[in-house]
Chains A and B, each alone.
Chain A
Amino acid sequence: MAVAFDEMNIPGGDLRPAYQELARWLKETPPEALEYRRQEAELLFRRIGITFAVYGDSESTERLIPFDVIPRIMSGKEWSLLEKGLKQRVKALNMFLRDIYHGRDILRAEIVPDDLIFQNPVFRPEMNGQQVPHDVYVHIAGIDIVRVDAEDFIVLEDNARTPSGVSYMLENREIMMRLFPDLFARHRVAPVERYPDELLSALRSVAPLSASSEPTVALLTPGVYNSAYYEHSFLADKLGIELVEGRDLIVKNNEVFMRTTEGLKRVDVIYRRVDDDFLDPLTFRPDSVLGVPGLMSAYAAGNITLANAVGTGIADDKAIYSYMPDIVKFYLGEEPILKNVPTWRCREPKDLAYVLDNLSELVVKEVHGSGGYGMLIGPAATKATIEAFREKLKREPEGFIAQPTLALSTCPTCTASGLAPRHVDLRPFVLTGSKRTTIVPGGLTRVALKEGSLVVNSSQGGGTKDTWILDE
């Protein structure tokens, strides 16, 4: 694997401009001070209760995501390019979804194969021909971005269902400002704190026609045992909306109400953090107790907006991912600003043959997987793991895609042996309302804390960093 692109250091000893002030500050700051701040940050996280649950981990049900106190810095210029690319990408995602559930021009034009849609378990036939308020499907998108050089931004994954992590973007900033006021004073960092306001106005803007002029928005959570519960309660609090569970809602005459101490109150927009499958036991999984019976018929009647819409999984599916550059071109007639990782579709025999021959160099992902589970990282895997994976791949090739192992960019990170480069990615959050798309400058930077590791997922030992966009 090639030497990774480092976001701070230019080979030969120079620094990239965005990092110069940080480098000076690091020189003045003794390492013990950094360690002390790191411990302080951990204590703050624990006291505030910013924890997450790891499924299948019985040892401790609530864990902290490690926080690295060295910020990741991007110049304003880099950000504007990224911002433009993100808006373009999300616009295309929304148009694609609208098309898939209505006219299906893109299938007729044979850009995307039919069976990839209709045989896909995340395709929702219930959404066929259904009008969603303001034609917005993906109100909140989390697009995972990686860099391999100074020029390009590459999309690793689109998250168009219920992307999480934005609370870390906000809390990381809070904690950094508390711990390093001097470092902030030496930079002009674009603020992120207006995210909740932007989110609320986006959600209110997509209320259904039958809503009152002051639409009621609620956040639907699966409950305290969900791994992202902290984030749900955090956002509900910041937005000033009710945090509801399925049992708090009831559908009557195709309208959705919440049970309050003063009787039933109508809800117009649900920011749902519950997966499609669990939303409505009458339509989807009958065993779900997290959902609301009848919610889908209220949705069909146009009396409730779900954000994100039902059926958006078809747009962020890993098999669809490889078609995204063509999807952008098809709907917008523009060249995609953000690149895709070259992807082999194992469902295609030629691609499969190549993948099987080169397993030790590739990353192979489950088409429907997420959270870093069930993937093979060829260069880091043992022979036995690769062979086991080969059998899985042969049995069900359509369930996998493969990509080259990217040398993700690195950022300076605190480690046991001092500052060292660690691989990072970035998840900015793109909000789409009825009239406009906004992106708060920044996002969640995830960092693979283990030396050489490329897996940044929090469930697999990744940490987070504050992300600074410099206002020049």
Chain B
Amino acid sequence: MLSRTAENLYWLARYVERAEYLARTIDATLRVTALPAAYIGKTNEWDSALLTAGVAGSFYRQYEEANEHNVVDYLSFSVDNPSSIRNCIEAARLNSRSVRTALTSEMWDTINSAWIELQEVWSKGTSTREDLAKFLRFVQETSLRFDGSAYRTMLRNDAYWFSRLGLHLERADNTARILDVKYHVLLPEEEHVGGPLDFYQWSSILRSVSALTAYHWVYRETLKPWLVADLLILNGTLPRSLASCYDNLVRNLDQIGVAYGRQGPAQRHARGVRNRLEHSNMNDIFQHGVHEFIQEFITDNSRLGEIITKQYLI
């Protein structure tokens, strides 16, 4: 397949995944900030939302204060923020248009319909909380529909594999970023462990990666920080965990390698990262430093993006 087509499919999946993640982040932040001040402490949750989205720097060049209005606007609707939901949807539609021949009609329909629907939101904005909630839900549903149509209708060939690579790489990045920003509340030696403050912080993290219910199913325990970290980093059964993302990345890269009859640096690098995750346990990670571990992971993950690009997409 054309390198440009593969590149478009890869980025298309990334944009859709990112839009969903942003919607979840905003949703989770709205919940936490709705709590009485005693429960959330002094941290500015909107600031963390900006940090997890990786856009704090550009935000402050434009705004003075990270409050609900400004951050929601910047993350959702801003045309100046390259990774706002709006720009993700626009980029996804543009990418879809340039690779229409590689998309199934269901996938195209999902993106194009969402794009048409959202034109009105862009022009009018969301004036009420209900409007905003509806919009965030719609973005998440669009991502689910897109993912579902890809899963159910695409041929299992390189087009599918490249699109999955984009999805899992982006997902791993998102999960790692939220851990990076929130790692301090996960540290077991933190004061007030088990206090109401931490409880809401953790449930907010889990919610933003749609893992709150999963936590209870997996551990059958009250929320414990090291278990939250274990779930998001090492638990292979949670689709948004780093381990699960890397299982998928390795599998899809292997399939490409088999189909093309040759492996390369991307396969080797992905396997390396996965092996490290496989051979880690939470004790070691806490010993080594959660923050350092996550930082290394983020670097490795974006390195994989670069290698895939070099090996296949240009």
A245 and B4 contact, CB distance less than 8 A: yes
B2 and A244 contact, CB distance less than 8 A: yes
Kindly supply a per-residue 1/0 record for chain B positions 145-165, scoring 1 wherever the CB is within 8 Å of any chain A CB and 0 otherwise: 000000000000010001000
B2 and A223 contact, CB distance less than 8 A: no
- A236-265 contacts to B, CB under 8 A, are 236-237, 242-245, 247-248, 258-262
- State whether A46 and B116 are in contact (beta carbons under 8 Å apart), knowing that A236-B101, A243-B101, A248-B3 are contacts in the complex: yes
> A374: CB under 8 A from chain B?
no
Complex Cα–Cα for A244 and B4 (A): 9
When C-beta atoms are compared, the residue in chain B nearest to A46 turns out to be B116
A224 and B97 contact, CB distance less than 8 A: yes
Complex Cα–Cα for A147 and B98 (A): 39
- How many Å from the CB of B187 to the closest CB on chain A? 43
Question: Which residues of chain B come closer than 8 Å to A247, judged between CB atoms?
Answer: 4
> A49: CB under 8 A from chain B?
yes
Question: Which residues of chain B come closer than 8 Å to A330, judged between CB atoms?
Answer: none
Kindly supply a per-residue 1/0 record for chain A positions 201-230, scoring 1 wherever the CB is within 8 Å of any chain B CB and 0 otherwise: 000000000000000000000011000010
- State whether A223 and B4 are in contact (beta carbons under 8 Å apart), knowing that A49-B112, A261-B162, A262-B260 are contacts in the complex: no
- B110-146 contacts to A, CB under 8 A, are 112-113, 116
Question: Which residues of chain B come closer than 8 Å to A224, judged between CB atoms?
Answer: 94, 97-98
A49 and B97 contact, CB distance less than 8 A: yes
Complex Cα–Cα for A259 and B3 (A): 6
> A47: CB under 8 A from chain B?
yes
A259 and B94 contact, CB distance less than 8 A: no
Question: Which residues of chain A come closer than 8 Å to B5, judged between CB atoms?
Answer: 242
Kindly supply a per-residue 1/0 record for chain B positions 82-120, scoring 1 wherever the CB is within 8 Å of any chain A CB and 0 otherwise: 000000000000100110110000001100110010000
Taking a contact as CB atoms closer than 8 A, the residue among A47, A237, A244 that contacts B100 in the complex is A237
Question: Which residues of chain B come closer than 8 Å to A162, judged between CB atoms?
Answer: none
> A360: CB under 8 A from chain B?
no
> B249: CB under 8 A from chain A?
no
When C-beta atoms are compared, the residue in chain A nearest to B97 turns out to be A224
Question: Which residues of chain A come closer than 8 Å to B6, judged between CB atoms?
Answer: 261
- B260-279 contacts to A, CB under 8 A, are 260
> B312: CB under 8 A from chain A?
yes
Complex Cα–Cα for A262 and B3 (A): 8
- Size of chain A's interface in residues, with CB distance under 8 A? 21
> A410: CB under 8 A from chain B?
no
- Size of chain B's interface in residues, with CB distance under 8 A? 23
> A312: CB under 8 A from chain B?
no
> A308: CB under 8 A from chain B?
no
A49 and B108 contact, CB distance less than 8 A: yes
Question: Which residues of chain B come closer than 8 Å to A236, judged between CB atoms?
Answer: 101
Complex Cα–Cα for A260 and B1 (A): 5
Q: Which of B100, B112, B256 has the most CB of A within 10 A?
A: B100
When C-beta atoms are compared, the residue in chain B nearest to A264 turns out to be B3
> A233: CB under 8 A from chain B?
yes
A261 and B1 contact, CB distance less than 8 A: yes
A248 and B260 contact, CB distance less than 8 A: no
Complex Cα–Cα for A70 and B6 (A): 42
A47 and B97 contact, CB distance less than 8 A: no
Taking a contact as CB atoms closer than 8 A, the residue among A49, A229, A237, A248 that contacts B2 in the complex is A248
- How many Å from the CB of B198 to the closest CB on chain A? 46
Question: Which residues of chain B come closer than 8 Å to A242, judged between CB atoms?
Answer: 1-2, 5, 101
B4 and A47 contact, CB distance less than 8 A: no
Kindly supply a per-residue 1/0 record for chain B positions 14-50, scoring 1 wherever the CB is within 8 Å of any chain A CB and 0 otherwise: 0000000000000000000000000000000000000
B109 and A261 contact, CB distance less than 8 A: no
A261 and B3 contact, CB distance less than 8 A: yes
Complex Cα–Cα for A248 and B4 (A): 7
Binding site for A on B (CB under 8 A): 1-6, 94, 97-98, 100-101, 108-109, 112-113, 116, 158, 162, 256, 260, 312-314
The 27 listed contacts between A and B (C-beta, < 8 Å) are A46-B116, A47-B112, A47-B113, A47-B116, A49-B97, A49-B100, A49-B112, A223-B98, A224-B94, A233-B97, A233-B101, A236-B101, A242-B2, A243-B101, A245-B4, A247-B4, A248-B2, A248-B3, A248-B4, A259-B3, A260-B1, A260-B2, A261-B3, A261-B6, A261-B256, A261-B260, A262-B260
Closest 4 CB pairs of A and B: A233-B100, A237-B101, A261-B312, A259-B3
Binding site for B on A (CB under 8 A): 46-47, 49, 223-224, 229, 233-234, 236-237, 242-245, 247-248, 258-262
